[in-house]
Amino acid sequence: MLNRGDAAIPQPAIAEIAYGIERLPRSKRRSALEDRFDLVRTELARSPWTDAVSERFGSIKATLERKGHRIEDFDAAIAAHALVEGAILVTANLDDMTRVPDLQVEDWARDE
């Protein structure tokens, strides 16, 4: 079981969630998602976007492009945060994230 301090959200993930919510029309569903998002932001730490993350982002993008395996910029940024922090990335996006060298990923939504 994870403790509160064991998990952090990279800033690009916060941005993607905010974008997804902002695209929704005003509704009960949007309000519920905004409430959950506020709770997540209250309870979980952020992984800051540092120079080390930017440098790792550049390395990831260049390495994957040389191999012909492009991924979205925010996916590369999220991976860069995990690598710099020495963290395991929890994601359902295994197709893209398993291409990133040295990145440890887990899919907690998958049925075992």
User: 106 with 88: CB under 8 angstroms?
Assistant: yes
Average pLDDT over residues 72-100: 94
For 54-73, the pLDDT digits (tens) are 999 999 999 999 999 999 99
At 87 the pLDDT is 93
pTM given for the model: 0.83
For 14-34, the pLDDT digits (tens) are 999 999 999 999 999 999 999
Structural domains of the chain in order of their starting residue, each with its CATH number: 6-106 (3.40.50.1010)
Structure tokens at 39: 């709770």
At 27 the pLDDT is 96
At 112 the pLDDT is 56
In the predicted structure, residue 4 carries a pLDDT above the cut 70: no
27: which residues sit within 8 A by CB, 6+ positions away? none
At 66 the pLDDT is 96
